[in-house]
Structure 1
Amino acid sequence: MNASPGTSRAVRRRRHPWFNLVNLGALILVVVTALPLYWMAAASFKSQEEIGANPPTLFPTNPTLDNYGDAFGTNSLGHYLLNSTVVALSSTAVVLGLALFAGYALARLPVRGSGTIMVGLLMISVFPAIAVVTPLYLVERSLGLLNSHLGLIIPYVAFHLPFAVWIMRNSLVGLPRGLEEAAEIDGASITRTLLSVVLPLARPGLFTAGVFTFTATWTEFLMAITLNSEDSARTVPVGIALFGSEYSIPYGAIFAGAMSATVPIAILVLVFRRSIISGLTSGAVKG
């Protein structure tokens, strides 16, 4: 039986030297990325003495949960996780709501200079936060927003909205117009069409923008430590950085806290991985 053309092409690709190099590069990337994560996970179950052992141990000799008890008990990690959850979910919800309408306007409506707007959004999305953190601190101090959830949510929305709009516009521009035109003929308003017709089709883009926004706000450090000097609204990255005291560094609790903060992001990416890939692909192809 003759092999199909598709099978022959796949075989030729596997035999091509570049195919092996790409696989090798991917393997190296996986190892480089996974090794620190494994070390963090393993160290979170080690005692303080074993963490500092020389030579280091690859696996915990006597696994213990004391580090997690120290992180959640002595160092109030649960409070920081709650603050991060409130800030990240609120920021993501506002960003997605605004990005959906702005992306639809840029994708469907006759907006003058939409190309320039898209370039501007892309430039803003890579603007360094360190350039504005000082004036932002002064503004929030004058408004009484320091050490509050709202004081973090507002700048997070401002910083992450441009990239979310970029993703949503590129995702929406590739959707077929037939259903929207049918809804318009039936007398539906633009808002009704967007929410009833476009929104279900735009879920991959929404998931992509949502995961990126949530991850960025969950892991952000510079603004979080600058705008919060008290525990009231301190988030996970800042809380973990301040574990310990002047005379001791609880490495085990730090590893346990980092592991606890990483798990939600890992679950989020694993659950929505197909939608994320679909959203990024549609943006790359149709943008």
Structure 2
Amino acid sequence: MSRREKIWWLIGGLVLVFYCLFPIAWIVSLSFKAPSDLANGGFLPTQFTGQNYGDIFTGSASGLFLPSLRNSFGICLIATFISCVLAMFAAYAIARLDFPGKRVILTTALAVAIFPIISIVTPLFNVWRQIGLYDTWPGLILPYLSLTLPISIWTMSAFFREIPWEMEQAAQVDGATTWQAFRKVIVPLAAPGVFTTAIIAFFIAWNDFLYGISLTSTEAARPVPAALGLFSGASQFEDPTGVTAAAAVIVTIPVIVLVLLFQRRIVAGLTNGAVKG
């Protein structure tokens, strides 16, 4: 590229980075503003304060935020684990076995992934109330599987198709059973894809709001996204924006940490099979 083209690419990249990071910077700025400082139109607070963070950990909002944080971690980790295990077996069958309807299964999985959640929330709410799953961990884990499992099957099937079939056959020739070949040969080779799928599934479950707000009513199972919508000030005249922004910053930290720690694995998993040969 010429020097002029490099400059334009650099400017375009900076504009894109600014566009993506400005909302995050704005939320961080709000989280350090006192309630009396929220009315000013400036980007930075006139006086930095950690009062909002104190409220969500030890203050008035801790009773709502901390249980929901625990619920989100537990529910999302369990849903991600179940989704990855089930998707791993399904993707292996789709990639390795020849049976009618393979394309239909993949197409159905993709259709379920893009299906509007709002259309099934009300029937699910009524069913959950009748069978006792409303406001429970299993009552959220099962719907979360409808979000994470289809995309996990679709993603993992692509990784399993790239694994050489001859390696599994060689293990079976050496005396390994089908299960041993799958567990000791296929799964380690597919580890980058499984890890990438797990990260994506966790993010999807972590960010869900509609299921969380519709299928819970107490702190017994309410996740963080739903809890953020229920924050209120100490009185009807107090704006909870600062506390909500502080909670949003805390909720975003696990996602940022996961991406920074495992970015190489994520990139390796996403690009696996992109170039053949």
TM-score (norm: length of structure 1):
0.88
| In 2: Cα distance, 1:219 partner to 1:268 partner | 14
Match in the other structure for 1:165: 153
| In 2: Cα distance, 1:123 partner to 1:20 partner | 42
1:63 matched to 2:51: no
Cα displacement (A) at 1:151? 0.2
Q: Number of matched residues?
A: 271
Task: Map 1:62-141 onto structure 2 (within 5 A).
Answer: 62-72=47-57, 73-75=59-61, 76=63, 77-141=65-129
Cα displacement (A) at 1:164? 0.3
Correspondence for 2:251 among 242, 245, 261: 261
Correspondence for 1:221 among 209, 221, 246: 209
Cα displacement (A) at 1:158? 2.2
Contact 2:112 2:146 in 1 (8 A): no
| In 2: Cα distance, 1:252 partner to 1:201 partner | 46
Contact 2:147 2:205 in 1 (8 A): no
| In 2: Cα distance, 1:92 partner to 1:214 partner | 6
Which structure 1 residue ranges, 5 or more long, are not aligned? 1-12
Correspondence for 1:30 among 17, 40, 44: 17
- Matched to 1:278, the amino acid is A
Q: Deviations over 1:71-94 (max 9, x none)?
A: 223112111110000110000000
Structure-2 change in CA distance of 1:161 and 1:284 (3 Å): farther
| In 2: Cα distance, 1:61 partner to 1:47 partner | 9
Match in the other structure for 1:237: 225
Contact 1:243 1:249 in 2 (8 A): no
Match in the other structure for 1:5: none
1:43 matched to 2:33: no
Cα displacement (A) at 1:45? 1.7
Contact 2:152 2:201 in 1 (8 A): yes
Report the more deviating stretch, 252-261 or 121-130: 121-130
| In 2: Cα distance, 1:20 partner to 1:189 partner | 58
- Matched to 2:270, the amino acid is L
Question: For 1:64, what is the secondary structure of its paired residue?
Answer: coil
Q: Deviations over 1:82-129 (max 9, x none)?
A: 000011000000001001111111111113232232222111111111
| In 1: Cα distance, 2:2 partner to 2:154 partner | 36
| In 1: Cα distance, 2:181 partner to 2:8 partner | 48
| In 2: Cα distance, 1:122 partner to 1:178 partner | 29
Match in the other structure for 1:7: none
Match in the other structure for 1:194: 182
- Matched to 2:252, the amino acid is T
Question: For 1:233, what is the secondary structure of its paired residue?
Answer: coil
Cα displacement (A) at 1:21? 4.8
| In 2: Cα distance, 1:135 partner to 1:276 partner | 36
Contact 1:146 1:228 in 2 (8 A): yes
Q: Deviations over 1:207-228 (max 9, x none)?
A: 2111111111111001110000
Question: For 1:100, what is the secondary structure of its paired residue?
Answer: helix
Structure-2 change in CA distance of 1:282 and 1:20 (3 Å): farther
RMSD: 1.9
Structure-2 change in CA distance of 1:231 and 1:187 (3 Å): same
Match in the other structure for 2:135: 147
Percent identity between matched residues is 38
Which structure 2 residue ranges, 5 or more long, are not aligned? none
